[in-house]
């Protein structure tokens, strides 16, 4: 997984701790899910900002997933480690929801199509031989 970091109004002293904290959390939370579902690498863009009034850290994450889906999450906290955990938890929840939806849709579509084909075959079989030949 490729991670791109961006900073706004953040001192350089926070860059390394933020990358370390977020890297550790993502390694444990997101990496197994993404390795299981994606063949190619997913891209994750993280923007760390600091609120001028409250002095809280604000983090925004954008993750590009298969199926042309972009997951976007935001979180804010006073410290970097809990902020990284909140962000990773939100990303995990949205990515899992997306993958579940992707896989379930395929199954639902296949089941519905098979059911329609079975019904069509039954209707064709119920007609007289001359009409069944024309229906095919």
Domain ranges of the chain: 2-101
Task: Tell me phi and psi for residue 78, to 5 degrees.
Answer: -80, -25
Q: Count CA atoms closer than 13 A to 122's CA, side-chain side.
A: 6
Tens digit of each residue's pLDDT (9 = 90 or more) over 62-90: 998 887 888 899 999 999 999 999 999 99
Instruction: Kindly indicate whether the domain formed by 2-101 is annotated with CATH number 3.30.160.100.
Output: yes
Is the overall model pTM greater than 0.75, yes or no?
Answer: no
Distances (CA, A) of 68 to 28, 35, 42, 65, 88: 24, 17, 11, 6, 20
Residue of 60 and 54 predicted with greater confidence: 60
Tens digit of each residue's pLDDT (9 = 90 or more) over 122-132: 988 888 877 65
Tens digit of each residue's pLDDT (9 = 90 or more) over 32-52: 888 887 767 788 999 999 988
Choose the weakest-confidence range: 2-6, 54-58, 108-112, 114-118: 108-112
> Cα(24)–Cα(71) distance, rounded to whole angstroms?
20
């Amino acid at each position: 997984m490729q991670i791109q970091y961006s900073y706004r109004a953040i001192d350089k002293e926070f860059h390394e701790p933020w990358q370390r904290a977020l890297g550790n959390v993502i390694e444990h939370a997101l990496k197994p899910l993404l390795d299981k579902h994606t063949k190619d690498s997913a891209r994750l863009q993280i923007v760390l900002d600091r609120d001028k009034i409250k002095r809280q850290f604000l983090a925004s994450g954008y993750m590009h997933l298969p199926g042309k889906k972009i997951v976007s999450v935001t979180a804010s906290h006073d410290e970097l480690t809990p902020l990284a955990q909140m962000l990773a938890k939100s990303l995990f929840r949205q990515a899992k929801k997306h993958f579940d939806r992707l896989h379930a849709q395929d199954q639902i579509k296949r089941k519905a199509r098979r059911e329609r084909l079975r019904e069509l075959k039954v209707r064709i079989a119920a007609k007289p031989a001359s009409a069944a030949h024309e229906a095919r």
